[in-house]
Every structure is written in C-alpha cells, then in structure tokens.
Structure 1
C-alpha cells in the first residue's frame, strides 16, 4: 500500500533539477524538500568526534549558523530511510534527452535543424538555450515541456518509493 503524502511539487521538482552543490532530502513526515549543502556534509563528516559528547563539543566550536545546519544534517542522517529519502538529481543525459524530445515536437523545420546542430558536442545545453533566445514562443514552449518532463520524473520516483500525492 502506498503512503499518501502532501508534497509541494514545485519544491520537489526544483530539488530534482538544482542539486549541484546541495543535496536534497524528502521529509516523509512533512512532505517538504530539505536542503543540505555539500560544505555542511563535508564538515559533518570531518568533525573530530568518537562519541556523542565529543560530537557536541565539536559542534560547539562551530559558528552558530553552522551549528544549526550541522544539527539538521545529523537529524537527516539519523532518519535516512525512515523519515528522510535522498532526492536524486537529474543527470545530464536526461536533460539531453529532453532537448532531443523537444526538437521532435517542433513544426518549424528551420528551428528544429538549428537546435539539432546546437546540441552536438560540448556545450550543447548553452548553445540550445542561445538558439531558443531568438525564438521567444519556442523558448516558452521549451520551459513548459521541460517542466512537464521533470514532473513526470518526480512522479515516477515517488511511485518507486511507494509514495502517492495526497492532501
């Protein structure tokens, strides 16, 4: 049986698409996406602590803002798999496939050819966006298409995790 969870899809979609220097986790109690920076995770892994007392002492030596971030990261690590799930990031292959699929939907053969050339080789994403810059209507359709693709990925991931969108 699937677990029903009220989730902010916009927040979750953002987490899938923007996880370069940040890891995102789905809180299974609140349905929110919680972010932890790679720097915080690195600091946590390198705190000199053998037991809970050492850990508390090591935390006290950090800046106050960092203590809060580290405590949240510790809470996530402790609840991984039960309260929290790591949200996967979209890989560049999926983004490239989205561009190919979008090009296939275009009725403007000239634009389709320009974009097909743009996505060849290094810098494909930048060139793709550069071409679309000169075609505002197609650019808006691209944003809508990309959002729909991302939402499908998010929904598939939730389904694999046994989670159903609920109120």
Structure 2
C-alpha cells in the first residue's frame, strides 16, 4: 500500500466530472493512478496495450450520498448553533454541496475543521476501496485506518 498515493486515490474517488469513457484507473502492480481517456487509449493502442492487459482497476467515484452523509455528520458536531443551523439549511436546499461550501465560508473558524474531517473520511474510504478491489488485505487496510485515526 505504500506505493499508492492516497491523496491521488481520494481525488479519483471524488471526481464526478468524467464520462464513462474517461476514468481514473489503478495499476495494482506499480500503484500508479492515471487518467484513462481517448488520448491515453490512442497512445496505449499504438504501444500495444490497454488497461485490462495491465490488470488495471477502474476507479469509479463514490456515491454522492456518502458526501452528503459526511456533511450531515460534520454539522452534527458543530458546537455553534447559528453555524450548525445555517449549514443544515444549506444542505436541505437544491445543490447542497455548493450551498454548504458557500455557508462554510461565512464561518472561517470551521473551514479547516471541515476539510480535515472530510479528508480523513475520504482517506478511510480510499483504504477500504483498496481492500474491496483486492489490492490490499483487509488486515492491512484495518491497520492503515487505525494508523490514520491515531496519527496527529
């Protein structure tokens, strides 16, 4: 697991802007995470390989409902009632992610807390994804998550 850049994997898991033919993939042999698209496919075809030949694993983004639950969990832990209420109202509207971030910027003292909270959850999801994809054993994933939780 040391060869895999968790931050890059988190970026891939959060990317909801790509179409079906353009996606991130993981080379389980090297740990490299790369973007696969038309241009990459053309280059790979010219070189005589494709993602499947390398045992590549497609990285689909996490379901947006998980991000929504992250916001709900964060809001529940906000101590300041005005901030908590405004953030809750933001996610109850259409485009909850945009409205949440807009409201969050009204409370700069909570911005860092949100990003640290969200990043920690996404790293845990990334590690679980690696285990589910068979890249790491469950015991290794559990140990890595425990280390994340206990590291400063």
Alignment TM class, shorter chain as reference: 0.7 to 0.9
Distance, in Å, in 1 between the alignment partners of 2:50 and 2:125 is 23
The residue aligned with 2:135 is 163
Distance, in Å, in 1 between the alignment partners of 2:10 and 2:97 is 19
Structure 1 portions without partners, runs of 5+: 41-65
Structure-to-structure mapping, 1:116-131, within 5 angstroms: 116-131=88-103
* Offset, 1:121: 3.0
Structure 2 portions without partners, runs of 5+: 142-152
Among candidates 12, 33, 38, match of residue 15 of structure 1? 12
The residue aligned with 2:78 is 106
* Offset, 1:69: 4.5
Distance, in Å, in 2 between the alignment partners of 1:162 and 1:6 is 15
Q: Which has the higher strand share?
A: 1
Q: How many pairs are equivalent?
A: 133
Higher normalized contact order (CA 8 Å, seq sep 6+, divided by chain length) = 1
Is the 2:28–2:135 Cα contact (8 Å) retained in structure 1? no
The residue aligned with 1:76 is 50
Query: What TM-score, normalized to structure 2?
Result: 0.77
Structure-to-structure mapping, 1:47-86, within 5 angstroms: 66=39, 69-72=41-44, 75-79=49-53, 83-86=55-58
Among candidates 102, 108, 115, match of residue 87 of structure 2? 115
Is the 2:27–2:55 Cα contact (8 Å) retained in structure 1? yes
Query: What TM-score, normalized to structure 1?
Result: 0.71
The residue aligned with 1:32 is 32
Structure 1 residues 27 and 77: CA distance shift in structure 2, 3 A: closer
CA offset digits 1:41-78 (Å, max 9, x no partner): xxxxxxxxxxxxxxxxxxxxxxxxx4x55233773343
Structure 1 residues 25 and 108: CA distance shift in structure 2, 3 A: same
Q: Secondary structure at the match of 1:90?
A: coil
